[in-house]
Chains A and B, each alone.
Chain A
Amino acid sequence: MNRHHKMDSADRQNRLDGMAQGLIGTDVPRPDGMAKATGTATYAAEERREGMLHGVLVRATVPGGRVADVDTDALAKALGDDVTVITDARLLQVPAQGTDGKAPPQGPDLVHYVGQPLALVVAPSFEVARHGARLLGIRYEGGEEGHFDPEDDATPTELRDKKTVDIGDLDAAMAKAAHSVDAVWRTPGHVSAAMEPHAAVAWWEGEHLTVRSALQMLKFNRDELADALGIPAENVRLLAPFVGGGFGSKLGISHEAVGAAIAARQLGRPVRVVLSRQQVFEAVMRRSETRQHLRLCADEEGRLTGIGHDCLVSNLPGQDFAEPVIQGSRFAYAAPNRHLSLRLARVNRTCAGSVRAPGEAVGLTALENAMDELAEAIGIDPVELRLRNVPEEDPTDGKPFSSMMMAEVLREGARRFDWQRRNPIPALRREGDPRREWLRGMGMSLLVRGNILDEAEARVRLLPAEDGAPVRAEVETDMTDIGTGSYAVLSQIAAEMLGLPMERVTTRLGDSALPPSPGSGGSWGAGSSGSSVYLACLELRTRLARALGCDEGELTLRDGQATGGNHSRPLAELLDGGTIEAVGHIEPGKTAKERRQATYGAQFAEVEVSRHTGEVRVRRMLGVFAAGRILNSRTARSQCLGGMTFGIGMALSEELEHDPRDGHLVNRDFAGYHIPVNADVPQLEVHLMEERDPWANPMQSKGIGELGICGAAAAITNAIHNATGARVRDYPATPDRVLAAMAVAN
C-alpha cells in the first residue's frame, strides 16, 4: 500500500519533531564514508565487465560546418582491425539539459563548437583507442562564419521576454534618487569540474541495455538515453550508486553513455567510454559568462526605490537554456521600481547549462557588489543597508513568503563575525606606510536561493528479526548521492520515523529500477526524496499502530520498541516474522504557487591584499544559513563549505577563456582553470539557523546544496574594496585586475 501526499497546504504538524529516536538534524556520519575513505566505493569507470572494450571520443577542431569525410586509412595502417570507428548518427552534439527527459540534438556530422565529439574510436585497450583517436583524419566543409563573442554587435541576441520584470518607472526613480549606483559587472564562464570525469560502461543482454554511468537524475536520464537510441525506456537500466561530484555537469545524458551504448550494441561486447578532463571542459556544460548592468537607487535613509538588473548571457544556437541571472533579484530586496531583463546571445562556444546554483550564483554576486557600493555612497553600514530593505512579500509578484530569515542571518552573521570591528574606510587610505605589504579588509554579502519541491517516490521496507539479527529497514529510490549526503539523510529520516538506530537502516540508491525521484539538482534532492521516504514511513507507522492497537499519532517508536495506547511491544513481535513495505509519493502542489519559498544566507569574509602584487588571500570566512529544518547538520555543513569554496574560486581564480577567433576553450584543464586548492581556503566557519518552513514539504526542510555559492564571491570582493578601495567589477579578482582597480581608486 502506498501513501501519497500533494503539497497543497502548509504542514505545521512538524511530525519529525515529535519522533523519539533523536536522530533527525543531528550530525550522524555518512554510512558510505568508510567505503569512500578506503577506496572500496566504486564509480562508473570502475565497473569491470568481461571482454570490455575501450572507447575514446574524437573532437571537432573547427567551430562549424559539416564533416565531409572521415579518413580511417592511417588508423587502419597503424592499428589494424582491432579498432572500430563509430560515427553513428545518434551520437550527441551536446549533452541533455537538466530534467529534459528527451534526447538532446544528435548527429555528429554537423559541427557547432570546437570540441564537439564527432566519432568514437573503440579498441581492446585504452592506450590503443587513444592512439586511434589521434590518427583519425576528419575533413570538414562549409562552416559559414560563427559568432564567438557574446558582446560583439554582429552576434545575434534575443530578449527572453517572459523573464522581463517592469514595474514602476526605474528611470524616473534613478533620476530623482538621493543615492544611486549604475555600473556594469562581468562574470566569466565557469565549469562544474566535478573530480570524477564523465564515464559510462554499457552492456546489452538481448534487447536490454544496462549502463553504469556518472549521472545525477536517473529518471530523466533513462528517458533521454532511450530516446537518443530509439529504444523503449523499459529496456534501459541505469546504475549510479556512487557519483564523483556533479554540480550540474551530470544532470543530463551525455556523449559517453550514448557512445558506449551504441558501440556495445554494434560490437556485441561491453564498452567503456570515459571523457578526458579536456573533453569534460569542452563537451559538457559550462556556466555562461554574464554581463550585468545594475542600477540601484535609494532615498536618504537607504531605502531602495529602484532595482535594475539587465543581463546578457550566451548559449549555442537552438539551445533554450539561458543562465537565469535575474532570478534572485526578483525577490531579494523590496523596491517599488524594478526593471529586470535577460538577453541571450547565440555563440559557437561549448554548450551552456547548469553549474551549481544557476542564476543566483552569479546574479547575486553582482547585486551584492552593487549593494556594497550603494552602502558606501549613502554612508551606512552594508549590513544595515540590507536590513532596511528586507521585503515583506515577494516584491515582484506580491506573494507572501513561506518563512523568511533574511534579517536573522544578517544579524547573526554580523555578531558572530565581529563585524562591528570593520572600519568603513579602506585600509589603504588609512595606512600610508608602504612597507606594510598586506592590507586587511572585511566584506559581506546576502545569499538567497529559491526553493523547489519535485515529485518523488521511495519504498521503505521493515524486515523482521532473522538469525539473531534485529529488525532492520531498507530504503529504496533511484535518487543519487553525488556527495550531497543522500545515503545519510534518507537513512536518517527512516531511522527517525521508524525508531531504529542508524546502522539498522540501509539505503539503496542510484538504480533506475528503483522508485523514481527527481534526482540531485536544484537543491531539491533531500527535500523531495526525503519527503517520499517520510511518507512511506508514515504509512508503515500507521500499520504498526494498528497492529499495536493505537492511533498512529500516539505511537512512539524507539530503538526497535513500539509504545502507544498503554501497550508496548518490540517491533520484532509486531512484524511477527513478516516484512512490511510501503511506497511514499510526494507531489508539489499549491504551496509552490501560493508562497515565495526561499533560503537565506549571509557571508562575511576577511581578506588580505598585497599592495604590491594585488594578490588576495582569504583569511577568515563565515557563512550563516537558514534552509528550513536541517536534516543532517554534518552533511548540510559540508554542502555549505563546498558552496563557499566555489565562491572563493569565483571571486579569485575561476575563468573560462575562449579564443576570440573560433570560440575554442583555451584553458581546458586544471592547469589553466584554477579551482581553489587547500591553501586558498581558510578554516571556513558555517552556522546553521533553526527554521521550519511549513510550506516547503512535510519535513519543513528546504534545499541547501546551492545556497552557499549564491553571492559568496561578493563577500570577498567587497572585502577587497574594504582593504584597498578597489572595485573589481570584472571577475575573477586576479592580481592584475586588483592592481588596476587599486590604481583607479587611489
Chain B
Amino acid sequence: MQTPLKTTLSINGTRHEIEGDARLTLLDALRDHLGLTGSKKGCDHGQCGACTVLLNGRRVNSCLTLLCMHDGDEVTTIEGLGTPDTPSDLQRAFVDRDGMQCGYCTPGQICSATAMIEEIRQGWPSHASEGLEGEVAPTPAEIAERMSGNLCRCGCYPNIVDAIADVIAEEGP
C-alpha cells in the first residue's frame, strides 16, 4: 500500500489539508475527498475539459495533475465562481442562453470561459486571431477556437459562444 501524502492548498479561498494516495488526482481529491463534485470527470485523460478548474488563475484539466503537486497552490472550482443565489455573470449567461443540455460539461465550460476571457483581455493570441500582436477581437470564431478544449456532446456550442459573447459585451474589453 502507498503511504498517504499530505497536501495543503487553498480551494475557493479556504485552506484545506488533504491526506491521500500519491496517485490521487486533483480532480478526484476535489470530487471524492472534499465533495466538490461540480468539477466533472468525462475522460480522466485530459481530452474533454469537463474537469477544468482555475489553478492560480489559469485554467487546467484537474484530471491531468496530481494533488500532491499542489502544495501551497490556489484552486478555484465552479463552486467558487458563484452559487445559485449569487451566480457569476457567466453562470447567469449560460442559463439565459441555454448553454447547456445535460449539464455535464457545463462547469468545465464555465471555468474555462472565465479564464479564457481574461486571456483575451491580456491579448494572448490564438490560431483564430488576426495576428500575434495587439488587441484580440472577441469574435465568435475567436471564442469558439479558445473554447475547443471543452467538449460538449449535447452540442451546445453556438449557445455557449453566445453566452460568452454576452458577458464580454456587458463587461467591456
Contact = CB atoms under 8 A, between A and B. Distances in A.
A and B associate in one complex = yes
A80 B1 CA distance: 8
A641 B104 contact: no
Interface in A18-51: 29-30, 32-43, 45-46, 48
Interface in A653-697: 669-671, 675-684
Taking chain A's interface residues, is the majority helix, strand, or loop, or is none over half, making it mixed?
loop
A339 B42 CA distance: 43
Given A37-B94, A39-B79, A46 B151 contact: no
B106 to A, nearest CB: 5
Contacts of A483: 100-104, 154
A702 to B, nearest CB: 19
B84 A677 contact: no
A127 B23 contact: yes
A575 interface: no
A183 B159 CA distance: 38
Interface stretch (A153-161, A188-196, A400-408, A560-568): A188-196
B155 A646 contact: yes
B21 A244 contact: no
A2 interface: no
Contacts of B39: 39
A641 B106 contact: no
A126 B151 contact: no
Contacts of B154: 195, 245, 483, 638, 642
A244 B149 CA distance: 18
A288 B106 CA distance: 30
Contacts of B104: 43, 194-196, 244-245, 483
Interface residues of A, number: 68
Contacts of A32: 103
Interface string B80-108: 01111001000110111011111111110
B60 interface: no
A82 B158 CA distance: 48
A634 B23 CA distance: 43
The range of chain B's interface size is 35 or more
B78 A38 contact: yes
A644 interface: yes
Contacts of A48: 35
B62 interface: no
B48 A670 contact: yes
A37 B157 contact: no
B87 A681 contact: no
A684 B157 CA distance: 9
Contacts of B54: none
Contact of A34 (B42, B95, B152, B161): B95
B40 interface: yes
Interface in B12-59: 21, 23-24, 28, 31-32, 35-45, 47-48, 50
Contacts of B83: 38, 40
Contacts of A417: none
A277 B42 contact: yes
B92 to A, nearest CB: 8
Interface string A185-208: 000000011111100000000000
B98 A638 contact: yes
A286 B166 CA distance: 38
Contacts of A616: none
Given A34-B95, A127-B24, A683-B140, A678 B147 contact: yes
Taking chain B's interface residues, is the majority helix, strand, or loop, or is none over half, making it mixed?
loop
A245 B101 contact: yes
A276 B1 CA distance: 23
A681 B155 contact: yes
A14 interface: no
A180 B99 CA distance: 45
Nearest to B160: A678
B110 A681 contact: no
Interface string A517-550: 0000000000000000000000000000000000
A669 B45 contact: yes
A519 to B, nearest CB: 15
A41 B24 contact: no
Given A642-B154, A645-B157, A36 B47 contact: no
Contacts of B92: 37
Contacts of A669: 43, 45, 47
A42 B28 CA distance: 15
B117 interface: no
B145 interface: yes
Contacts of A37: 87, 91-92, 94-95, 99-100, 103, 106-107, 110
B156 interface: yes
B64 interface: no
A197 B48 CA distance: 12
B49 to A, nearest CB: 9
B95 A638 contact: no
B151 A127 contact: no
A645 B141 CA distance: 16
A518 B63 CA distance: 36
Given A29-B95, A127-B23, A670 B43 contact: yes
Of A193, A195, A274, A684, chain B has the most CB atoms within 10 Å of the CB of A195
A643 interface: yes
Of A37, A482, A671, chain B has the most CB atoms within 10 Å of the CB of A37
16 contacts: A32-B103, A33-B98, A33-B103, A34-B84, A37-B94, A38-B79, A38-B82, A45-B31, A126-B32, A131-B23, A194-B104, A638-B155, A642-B154, A678-B143, A678-B145, A679-B148
Interface of B: 1-2, 21, 23-24, 28, 31-32, 35-45, 47-48, 50, 77-79, 81-84, 87, 91-92, 94-96, 98-107, 110, 128, 140-141, 143-145, 147-162
What 5 A-B pairs are tightest by C-beta distance, nearest first? A39-B38, A36-B103, A244-B104, A645-B155, A483-B102
Interface of A: 29-30, 32-43, 45-46, 48, 79-80, 82, 125-128, 131, 192-197, 242-247, 274, 276-277, 482-485, 634-635, 637-639, 641-646, 669-671, 675-684
